Amino acid sequence: MVISVVVNGTRYERDVEPRMLLAYFLREELRLTGTHVGCDSSSCGCCTVVLDGTRAVKSCTMFAVMADGHAITTVEGLEQNGKLHPLQQAFWDNHGLQCGFCTPGMMMTAYAMLRHTPNPSEREIREGISGNLCRCTGYNNIVKAIAQAAKELTTVETVTDEIAAPQKETVPS
């Protein structure tokens, strides 16, 4: 079945089996391997991507065919014009990652969360990322990183808009 998706601003058309999971579509069809797979039960969140700019989804629990006509932002889409996204910078600054396996999913969840809750409290951050597991960091520094990014994003308000997943219509196919 042929699907058309916009991933990180680029439109892709691909013929896929209906049973292909979105995570594997991104990883294997598009070779965007920053989206990871850590479980089979929609538990770990390593595979989290953002749909249509605002909605975090676990891409291992969505078929690629369901993404037809949607815009997807993956970790590879965070950096813009050679400038790290405030979340990326903050994870680096605060030692918010160790093995790095959970990191892309964690950042994508935070990305969507900060669109809904721009000034989260520590409690809200902890709640917001509670669908994403990390085995390495103990979360302290992830929480710190997201708080830093939130501050950064609210002071430079335009940043979120700038990197919002592009509307389908405006993207050249």
Partner 1 sequence: MTATLGVPMKRKEDPRFIRGKGRYLDDIVLPNMLYLALVHSPYPHARIKSIDKSAALAVTGVKAVITGEDLNAAKLEWLPTFHGFDKQMVLAFGKVLYQYQEVAGVIAETREAAADAAELVEVEYEPLDPVVDPFESMKDAVILRDDREEKTNHIYHWEVGKRDETDAALAASPVRIKERIVAPRCHPAPLEPCGAIADMNTATGRLTVYLTSQAPHVHRTAFSLVTGIPEDKIHIISPDVGGGFGNKVPVYPGYVVATVASVILGIPVKWVESRTENLTTTGFARDYHMDVELGATTDGKLTALKVSTVADHGAFDAAADPRKYPAGMFGIVTGSYVFPAAFAQVDAYFTNKPPGGIAYRCSFRVTEAAYAIERAMDILASELKMDPVELRSLNFIKNEQFPFATPLGFVYDSGDYETTMRKALSLIGYDDLRKEQAEKRQRGDLMGIGVSTFTEVVGAGPGKHFDILGIKMFDSAEIRIHPTGAGIVRAGTRHQGQGHETTWAQIVGEELGLDPQDLLVEEGDTDTAPYGLGTYASRSTPVAGAALALAARRVREKARKIAAHLLEASEDDVEWKDYKFSLKGVPGKAVTMKEVAFAAYTNPAPDSEPGLEATYYYDPPNMTFPFGTYVAVVDIDRETGAVDVRRFLAVDDCGTIINPMIVEGQVHGGLTEGYAIAFMQEIKYDEAGNNLNTNFTEYLVPTALESPSWETARTVTPSPHHPLGAKGVGESPNVGSPQAFVNAVMDALSPLGVRHIDMPLTREKVWQAIRGATA
Partner 2 sequence: MFPAQFTYERARSEDEALAALAKYGSDARILAGGQSLIPAMRYRLARPGVLIDINPITAFEYIEERDGYLSVGATARDYAIEMSSPIRSRYQLLAATSKVIADPVVRQTGTLAGSLCHNDPAGDWPVAALAARAQIVVRGVRGTRLVSADDFLVDSFTTAVGDDEMAVEVRFPKPPPLTYGAYHKIERKVGDFATACAGVQLTFDTGGRVAAAGIAIGAVGAKALRVADGEMMMTGYVPTEELIGEVVEVAKRVADPVADNRGSVQYKREMAGVLVGRALRDACRLSGLKGEGASW
Ligand X SMILES: Cc1cc2nc3c(=O)[nH]c(=O)nc-3n(C[C@@H](O)[C@H](O)[C@H](O)COP(=O)(O)OP(=O)(O)OC[C@H]3O[C@@H](n4cnc5c(N)ncnc54)[C@H](O)[C@@H]3O)c2cc1C
- Site residues, ligand FES (CB under 6 A): 37-39, 42-47, 58, 60, 97-103, 134-137
Token pair of 144, please? 């710190």
Q: Which is nearer to ligand X, 27 or 58 (CB)?
A: 58
In whole angstroms, give the CA distance from residue 94 to residue 164: 24
46 binds, among ligand FES, partner 2, ligand X, none (CB under 5 to 8 A by kind): ligand FES
111 binds, among ligand FES, partner 2, ligand X, none (CB under 5 to 8 A by kind): none
User: Which of 15, 41, 123, 172 is in the footprint of partner 2 by CB under 8 A?
Assistant: 41
Contact call for residue 45 and partner 2 (CB under 8 A): yes
What are phi and psi for residue 49, nearest 5 degrees?
-130, 170
Are residues 22 and 62 in contact, defined by beta-carbon separation less than 8 angstroms? yes
DSSP-derived secondary structure for 8-58: TTEEEEEE--TT-BHHHIIIIIS--TTS----SSS-S-TTEEEETTTEEEE
Contact call for residue 130 and ligand X (CB under 6 A): no
Q: How far apart are the first and last CA of the chain?
A: 19
User: Which of 4, 9, 38, 68 is in the footprint of partner 2 by CB under 8 A?
Assistant: 68
Contact call for residue 165 and partner 1 (CB under 8 A): no
Contacting range for partner 1; rule: CB under 8 A; set: 28-36, 64-72, 147-155, 156-164: 28-36
